Amino acid sequence: MNCRELTASVTAYLDGELDDAEASACRGHLRTCPACRTLAADEAAVRDGLADLERVEPPAALWSAISARLGEAEIADSQRAPAARWWSRLVARVRPVLVPVGLTASACAIAIIVVQVRRSPAREPLPIVVPAMQEVARPSVRIALRDASDELADEQRRIDDKFRDTAADLLELARGEIAHASPGQARQFALEVARHEKAVLYAPAGRERERAWHVLTAYLETVAIGDRLALGGDR
């Protein structure tokens, strides 16, 4: 007998319900196992405590109701098919064995799966949450350490963007004027715009490019307001 078997039998042992052979085996295990002795002592103390409680007489109707339910169950059992009764007996007998066997089998299956996953050379990387959170945290650190030289470069980009937006708006306005101009004036306008845009494109960043932007936008403004001189002749 081992500890698990004794745990299952200790109540019956204390109640004197085991046969001689099983009771002897229990006694033998309790002699050699301090933990099970403690368990049996605790169980005996609970039983003694319960025995000291004042007996309570149940109401007379309680037993009548229980007897009636038992009778219904026995009648139902008597009406079941022989095969069903046999199956119930078998389940009742093998249940104490099946539960530990099932647990062991489940543990073995999990262990096999884990070993297979670890041995698989082509396994996909599992989604990892923590590194992703670390990646999220990094940009805030970079923002905090953003240098003034980066911000100066940003300012240059802002200037270019604003000039570009302004030129786009002015170009629309100027095209509205050019729609009423002669073909020669329209051709002259296209050439001038291309020349100024090229100057912006090739100017180095900084003062040179900003001045090129100013020249382009000033020309477009002049055309947009309908200046005849800017269009290369009287309209």
Partner 1 sequence: MKALLAAALLMVASAASGARADDGTARDGDGEVVEHAQLTVLPQGVAIGAVVIENLMGDLRIEGHDGDTVSIIVVKHAPDPGTLKRLRVTAVSDPDGKVRLATLLNPGASAALHTVRMDLTILVPRNARIEGRVGSGRLEVRNVDAGADLDAGAGQILVRNVAGVVQARSLDGSQRFEEVFGSLESHAVDADVAIDTVRGATLTAQVYQGDIDGQRVSSRQVRMTAVRGDIRLDAEPQAGGAMMITSLRGNVDVRLRGGVGTAVQARAGGTLTMPDGATSAGERAADRWVDAQFGPRRSRASVRIESRFGDLAFSLAQ
Q: Between 163 and 189, whose beta carbon lies closer to partner 1?
A: 163
C-alpha span between 199 and 215 (Å, rounded) = 9
In whole angstroms, how close is the CB of 138 to partner 1 at the nearest point? 15
* Continuous segment of H or E residues that includes residue 164: helix 148-178
Shortest gap between Cβ of 168 and partner 1 (angstroms)?
12
Query: How many C-beta neighbours within 10 Å does residue 177 have?
Result: 21
- Taking Cα atoms as reference points, which of 152, 228, 159 lies closest to residue 188? 228
For residue 221, give the nearest of 178, 183, 167 by alpha carbon.
167
Check binding of 31 to partner 1 (CB under 8 A).
Answer: no
Q: Largest alpha-carbon pair distance within the chain?
A: 131
Residue 189 is a binding residue for partner 1 (CB under 8 A)? no
For partner 1, the closer of residues 7 and 182 by Cβ is 182
Measured CA to CA, the distance from residue 231 to residue 188 in angstroms comes to 7
- The distance of closest approach from Cβ of residue 146 to partner 1 in the complex, given in angstroms and rounded to an integer, is 6
Nearer to partner 1, 7 or 166 (CB): 166
List the interface residues with partner 1, window 44-83 (CB under 8 A). Answer: none
Give the per-residue contact string, 134-153, with partner 1 (x = CB under 8 A; - = no): -----------xxxxx-xx-
The number of helices, as runs of H, and strands, as runs of E, in the chain is 9, 0
What x-and-dash track marks residues 149-178 binding partner 1 by CB under 8 A? x-xx--x---x--xx--x---x--x-----
200-229 residues in contact with partner 1 (CB under 8 A) are 207, 210-211, 214, 217-218, 221-222, 224-227
Of residues 122 and 148, the one with the C-beta less far from partner 1: 148
**Which tokens is 103 given?**
């647990």
Please say which residue, 226 or 232, places its beta carbon nearer to partner 1.
226
* Burial 3-34, CB ≥16 within 10 A → b, else e: eeebeebbeebeeeebeeeeeebbeebbeebe
Give 97 or 143: the residue with its C-beta nearer to partner 1.
Answer: 143
CA distance 51 to 41: 15
Residues that bind partner 1 (CB under 8 A): 145-149, 151-152, 155, 159, 162-163, 166, 170, 173, 207, 210-211, 214, 217-218, 221-222, 224-227
